[in-house]
Amino acid sequence: MTTDDDARLKKLKFRAWRRGFREADLILGPFADKHVGGFTCDELDWFEMLLETPDHDLYAWIMGTAPTPPEFDGEIMRKIKAYRLVLHAERGTGHGG
C-alpha cells in the first residue's frame, strides 16, 4: 500500500464517521473501519461517490425506508445494510443504527 492509498483510506474513514447525521455515522463509520481496507480501487471510488449523497437519503436507503437508486443498489450497499443488522444485534438498539 502506498502513502497515497493510506491517506485515501484514512480520509474515507474520517468522512464515514463525520457525515453530520449521527445515525448514519454510527453505521457508516464502523462499516468503513472494518471494510474499506479490503476494497478494490473501483469499490473505493463507489464508496466515495456514496459518501457524496445527502445524509437523509443515504440513511433511508440503508434503513430500507426508501428504495435504493440503481446506481447504488449493489454488493457494497447490501453489505452496508447487512452490517446495520449486525450493529443492531451488538448494540441492542431498536433501529439497527
Show the cell assigned to 18: 463525520
The total of structural domains in the chain comes to 1
Identify the pLDDT of residue 1.
Answer: 61
Per the structure, the complete domain to which residue 53 belongs is given by 3-91
Residue 85 lies in a domain: yes
**35-79 confidence digits (pLDDT tens):** 999 999 999 999 999 999 999 999 999 999 999 999 999 999 999
Residue 96 lies in a domain: no
Identify the pLDDT of residue 97.
Answer: 52
Residue 36 lies in a domain: yes
Residue 97 lies in a domain: no
Answer whether 0.75 is exceeded by the pTM. Answer: yes
Residue 87 lies in a domain: yes
Residue 67 lies in a domain: yes
Helix (H, G, I), strand (E, B) or coil at 21: coil
Q: What percent of the chain has pLDDT over 90?
A: 78
- For residue 12, what is the domain's CATH number? 1.10.150.250
**What whole-number distance in Å separates Cα of residue 60 and Cα of residue 39?**
24
* pLDDT exceeds 70 at position 93: no
